[in-house]
Homo-oligomer: A and B are copies of this chain.
Amino acid sequence: MTQLSQAKAGIITDAMVEVAKQENVTPEYIRDEVAAGRVVIPANIKHTSLVPAGIGAKLKTKINVNLGTSGDCEDISMEMKKVQKAIEMGADAIMDLSSVGDTIAFRRDLIEISPAMIGTVPIYDAVIHYRKPLGVITAKEWMDVVRLHAEEGVDFMTIHCGLNKNTAEKIKNRHRLTNIVSRGGSIIFAWMEMTGNENPFYENFDELLDICYEYDVTLSLGDACRPGSIADATDAVQIEELINLGELTLRAREKGVQVMIEGPGHMPLDQIAANMKIQETLCHGAPFYVLGPLVTDIAPGYDHITSAIGGAVAAASGAAFLCYVTPAEHLRLPDEKDMEEGIIASKIAAHAADIAKKIPGAVDRDHAMSSARKRLDWEEMFSLAIDPHKPRRYREESVPAKEDTCTMCGNFCAVRNTNRILDGEIVSIFEE
């Protein structure tokens, strides 16, 4: 039985108890939210190293880290080093997007050690697995790779079911500036065009659900048609796919399979809140997992920032799960440093949203930080920082003459001077 089917049967699982503890709510609340489909707990029954976590708009915003090999970067040991780093930095989920090499061995090692939930995109792996041209992969073969990943213990899988023949026709009308930018979506689109067949995951959705049910794999319904540019945001193609995903959501829930929905993409800031609301209604409250949104197209090298802006607003408006974006987006496979910057930017976005959403306890660390600031207690500030290392390094590189100031203000330090005046002392500033 899955978390969803048990929740619907009124059962509180160990995973629900764990999630309730993490979120400072009752297990009953988590059970009811899982039963309603507003919270998912991606927890494959084979993933024994997992510490289960919940994803839902009313819970703490979670972040995902993408990693894995690519054709030009086959270094598996580097990717495993990234895994360790991502876990150490508090990633809630890791998606293995490997598309070359011994992907089975990498996934096995990953699932064996990761307390964070693991996601994959079986479509990528099928291409590697069968080692044959795309056009001759069969519908059954696509599905067999999903089964393989499920058996291995993958907690959630991105499946691009929403792009069907109708939507593909719209893409071919070429009204979009950037057509399809989803890797999995483009593969399925290419396969559909080359074979003339319907999307195999859309056509055989019930079979997909059976596999997911057996291992309690959470479906992450992929947005093959996510906008890849500001120009394409919130267009008919995107919304039509969302309608499709909403219908599939109900079918999955009916069968006891947990579902979340993947989302944009590139999007102007003023469209984000509306998109979160539309997703909520069309997809019946299923948790929204967004990639970005990137609020401008013109900042390659800084897309961790463009997506921190969009991600914070998205999460504050209802998104539950942020896929990190690194400075390498649009440019190259991220290296370890890129990954670190991406994780921190998305943790900032998630936390800013949690404060805005008044998630219980979220703001406590901010209050502790500001209390330390008022006391000019640098060690406590470092320990409370999202990244404790960089602030320490910054201060060490630029040592002030007076320990209770920094080189920005020196004697002009507003905090120090206000403290003194409030304590009845004299403030001189000049040659103090």
Question: Which A residues are closer than 8 A to B by beta carbons?
Answer: 70-73, 99-100, 124, 127-128, 130-135, 171-172, 174, 177-183, 185-187, 189-190, 193-194, 228-232, 266, 268-270, 295-302, 304-306, 308-309, 312-313, 316, 327-335, 344-345, 348-349, 351-353, 355-357, 363, 365-367, 369-371, 373-374, 381, 384-387, 390-391, 394-395, 397-401, 405-415, 417-422, 426-431
Are A421 and B356 within 8 A (Cβ)?
no
A301/B387 contact (C-beta < 8 A), A296-B352, A401-B72 known: yes
Instruction: Give the chain B neighbours of A399 by CB distance below 8 A.
Output: 72
Are A390 and B296 within 8 A (Cβ)?
no
Are A429 and B127 within 8 A (Cβ)?
yes
Supplied contacts A71-B411, A228-B414, 20 more A-B pairs, CB within 8 Å: A70-B412, A72-B399, A72-B405, A135-B427, A178-B374, A183-B409, A190-B417, A190-B421, A229-B373, A232-B370, A269-B316, A295-B355, A299-B344, A299-B348, A301-B391, A302-B348, A309-B349, A328-B394, A331-B408, A334-B408
Interchain CA distance A71-B406 in the complex, whole Å: 10
Interchain CA distance A343-B118 in the complex, whole Å: 37
Instruction: Give the chain B neighbours of A422 by CB distance below 8 A.
Output: 171-172, 174, 179
Are A269 and B177 within 8 A (Cβ)?
no
Interchain CA distance A417-B186 in the complex, whole Å: 7
Interchain CA distance A56-B365 in the complex, whole Å: 36
Interchain CA distance A242-B224 in the complex, whole Å: 48
Give which listed residue, B181, B366, B415, contacts A231 with CB less than 8 A. Answer: B366
Instruction: Give the chain B neighbours of A384 by CB distance below 8 A.
Output: 298
Instruction: Give the chain B neighbours of A344 by CB distance below 8 A.
Output: 299, 302, 305
Task: Tell me the minimal C-beta distance from A388 to chain B in angstroms.
Answer: 9
Task: Tell me the minimal C-beta distance from A125 to chain B in angstroms.
Answer: 11
Instruction: Give the chain B neighbours of A356 by CB distance below 8 A.
Output: 268-270, 295
Are B229 and A370 within 8 A (Cβ)?
yes
Are A367 and B230 within 8 A (Cβ)?
yes
Task: Tell me the minimal C-beta distance from A133 to chain B in angstroms.
Answer: 5
Interchain CA distance A305-B426 in the complex, whole Å: 37
A181/B391 contact (C-beta < 8 A), A298-B385, A309-B308, A401-B72 known: no
Are A385 and B299 within 8 A (Cβ)?
yes
A-B pairs with lowest CB-CB distance, top 3: A71-B410, A229-B370, A301-B390
Task: Tell me the minimal C-beta distance from A327 to chain B in angstroms.
Answer: 7
Are B352 and A400 within 8 A (Cβ)?
no
Interchain CA distance A344-B303 in the complex, whole Å: 11
Interchain CA distance A305-B326 in the complex, whole Å: 13
Are B370 and A228 within 8 A (Cβ)?
yes
Task: Tell me the minimal C-beta distance from A170 to chain B in angstroms.
Answer: 12
A193/B421 contact (C-beta < 8 A), A302-B387, A370-B231, A398-B333 known: yes
Task: Tell me the minimal C-beta distance from A285 to chain B in angstroms.
Answer: 21
Instruction: Give the chain B neighbours of A190 by CB distance below 8 A.
Output: 417-418, 420-421, 427, 429
Instruction: Give the chain B neighbours of A177 by CB distance below 8 A.
Output: 367, 370-371, 374
